[in-house]
Amino acid sequence: MTSPAHLKIRNVTRRFNVNGTALTALDDVSLDIKAGEFVTIVGASGCGKSTLLRLGAGLDVEHDGVIEHGGRRVDGPSLDRGIVFQEPRLFPWLTVERNVSLGLENAAFSKAEKRELVSEQIALVGLSGFEKAYPHQLSGGMAQRAGIARGLVNRPDVLFLDEPFGALDAITKARLQGELQQIWAAEKITMVLVTHDVDEAVYLGDRVVIMSPRPGRIRQIVPVDLPHPRERTSPELAAIRNGVLDILNGTTGEAPKPVTRPSAARRPAASANPIHAAHRTKPARPAFSTTEI
Amino acid sequence: MSVLAALRTQNAVKIRRGLTLPVLLLIFWEAASRSGLVDARFLPSLEDVFLTAKRELVDNNLFGELAASLFRNIAGFVIGSAIGVVFATLLALSRWADALATPSFNGFKQISLLAWIPLISIWFGFGEQAKIVFVAIAAFIPVVLNTYEGMRNVPGDLIEVGRALKFTPVQRVTRIFLPAAMPSIATGVHLGLIYSWLATVGAEYFLAVGPGIGGLIIAGRERFDMALVMVGVIILGLVGFLLNRLAAAGEAYLLRWRVTAH
Please give the pLDDT value at position B3.
64
pLDDT, tens only, A201-217: 999 999 999 998 888 88
My answer on whether B191 and B90 are in the same domain is yes
Give Cα A47 distance to the centre of its chain: 14
Within a domain: B90: yes
Would you give per-residue pLDDT tens digits along chain A (293 residues)?
434 568 999 899 998 888 888 888 888 999 999 999 999 999 888 888 889 999 999 998 888 999 999 888 999 999 999 999 999 999 999 999 999 999 998 888 899 999 999 998 898 888 999 999 999 999 988 999 999 999 989 889 999 999 999 888 888 889 889 989 988 988 889 999 999 999 999 999 999 999 988 888 899 999 998 888 888 888 999 999 999 998 988 776 554 445 555 444 444 444 455 555 444 444 443 434 445 55
> Which of A53, A75, A84, A93 has the most B C-beta neighbours within 10 Å, making it the best mutation to test the interface with B?
A93
My answer on whether B158 and B190 are in the same domain is yes
Q: Which of residues 81-140 of B touch A (CB under 8 A)?
A: none
My answer on whether B129 and B18 are in the same domain is no
- The residues near A112 (Cβ < 8 Å, ≥ 6 apart) are none
Residue-number span of the structural domain to which B9 is assigned: 1-43
Within a domain: B262: no
User: Which residues of chain A lie closer than 8 angstroms to B160, CB-CB?
Assistant: 59, 89
A285 CB-contact burial (10 Å; exposed 0-12 / middle 13-18 / buried 19+): middle
Residue-number span of the structural domain to which A203 is assigned: 7-80+156-291
pTM over 0.90: no
Answer for the pair A224, A181: CB distance below 8 angstroms, yes or no. no
Domain count of chain A?
Answer: 1
The DSSP letter of residue B127 is: S
Distance CA B115, CA B90 (A): 27
The DSSP letter of residue B38 is: S
My answer on whether B158 and B35 are in the same domain is no
Within a domain: A73: yes
Please give the pLDDT value at position A191.
94
CATH code assigned at A180:
3.40.50.300
Q: Return the ∠ at Cα A196 (arms to A8 and A125), rounded to 5°.
A: 80
Chain A nearest CA to B217, separation (Å): 45
Across-strand partners of B192? none
Within a domain: A213: yes
Answer for the pair A125, A148: CB distance below 8 angstroms, yes or no. yes
Cβ atoms within 10 Å, residue B152: 15
My answer on whether B189 and B108 are in the same domain is yes
Taking an 8 Å cut-off on Cβ atoms, the answer to whether B164 and A91 are in contact is: no
Distance CA A151, CA A146 (A): 9
The SS3 assignment for B42 reads coil
> Which of B158, B166, B172 has the most A C-beta neighbours within 10 Å, making it the best mutation to test the interface with A?
B166
Within a domain: B228: yes
CATH code assigned at B158:
1.10.3720.10
My answer on whether B37 and B131 are in the same domain is no
Taking an 8 Å cut-off on Cβ atoms, the answer to whether A103 and B175 are in contact is: no
Within a domain: B260: no
Cβ atoms within 10 Å, residue B187: 20
pLDDT, tens only, A59-84: 988 889 999 998 889 999 999 999 99
My answer on whether B169 and B235 are in the same domain is yes
B2 CB-contact burial (10 Å; exposed 0-12 / middle 13-18 / buried 19+): exposed
Domain count of chain B?
Answer: 2
Within a domain: B259: no
pLDDT, tens only, B81-108: 999 999 999 999 988 999 999 999 999 9
Taking an 8 Å cut-off on Cβ atoms, the answer to whether A93 and B180 are in contact is: yes
My answer on whether B17 and B60 are in the same domain is no
User: Which residues of chain B lie closer than 8 angstroms to A92, CB-CB?
Assistant: 257-258
pLDDT, tens only, B192-249: 999 999 999 989 888 877 888 998 999 998 999 899 999 999 999 999 999 999 999 9
My answer on whether B117 and B21 are in the same domain is no
My answer on whether B153 and B245 are in the same domain is yes
User: Which residues of chain A lie closer than 8 angstroms to B161, CB-CB?
Assistant: 85, 89, 91, 102
My answer on whether B104 and B218 are in the same domain is yes
Q: Which of A144, A293, A127, A120 is nearest to A213 (CA)?
A: A293
Q: Which of B38, B59, B109, B62 is nearest to B215 (CA)?
A: B62
My answer on whether B205 and B103 are in the same domain is yes
Please count the residue pairs, one from chain A and one from chain B, whose beta carbons lie less than 8 angstroms apart: 52
